[in-house]
């Protein structure tokens, strides 16, 4: 077992990694808020398109609104995909894994008293290293999920923009009547 750091250094690294883990979870929440706002805008655009179709549009207006509705449908689908529940990996406050790991480490270090005279310090240092790795693994997993959420949100946004433009252009065609 290679020691990456001891004592205060390892604890500081663990604090930094835990802060990064918290940020990765907050990012997921922020993406959800943006997707929810986007859905409200998309609902407005869909309602506006229904109103435009009801008004009786020119051939160009019908074409623009059909394209707008297609963009809205796909954007809504992507926003819902972004909001789809995912299981983020969170630390367990009282995990039995940690207790078992402590016992494993104690048994291991007691077998080598010459190399590890202070068993508890060795257990503590190794456990800190394990916690760092576990936290990094959780961050990596959560970042993968956030990447998917972010990609869905980006697609939703870039499909909402043409819908807005098409609806605005439809307003202009209705003003010319």
For the chain, residues with pLDDT lower than 50 are: 1-2
Q: Could you read off the pLDDT of 133-157 as tens digits, one per residue? A: 988 999 999 999 999 999 999 999 9
pLDDT per residue as tens digits for the range 69-82: 999 999 999 999 99
Q: Please give the pLDDT value at position 48.
A: 97
pLDDT score of 1: 44
| CA 22 to each of CA 17, 19, 26, 93: distance values in angstroms, whole numbers, following the listed order | 9, 5, 6, 15
Q: Which domains does the chain have, with CATH numbers?
A: 7-84+95-175 (1.20.1270)
> Nearest to residue 127, comparing CAs of 16, 10, 19, 12?
10
CA 60 to chain centre: 40
């Amino acid at each position: 077992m290679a020691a990456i750091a001891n004592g205060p250094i390892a604890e500081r690294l663990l604090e930094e990694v835990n802060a990064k883990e918290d940020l990765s979870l907050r990012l997921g929440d922020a993406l959800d808020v943006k997707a929810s706002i986007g859905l409200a805008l998309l609902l407005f655009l869909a309602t506006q398109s229904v109103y435009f179709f009801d008004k009786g549009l020119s051939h160009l207006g019908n074409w623009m609104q059909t394209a707008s509705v297609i963009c809205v449908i796909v954007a809504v689908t992507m926003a819902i995909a972004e909001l789809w529940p995912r299981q983020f990996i969170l630390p367990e406050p009282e995990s039995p894994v940690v207790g078992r790991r402590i016992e494993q480490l104690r048994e291991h270090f007691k077998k080598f008293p010459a190399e590890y005279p202070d068993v508890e310090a060795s257990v503590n240092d190794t456990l800190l290293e394990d916690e760092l790795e576990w936290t990094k693994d959780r961050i990596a997993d959560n970042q993968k999920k956030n990447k998917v959420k972010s990609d869905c949100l980006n697609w939703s946004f870039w499909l909402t923009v043409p819908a807005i433009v098409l609806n605005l252009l439809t307003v202009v065609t209705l003003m010319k009547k």
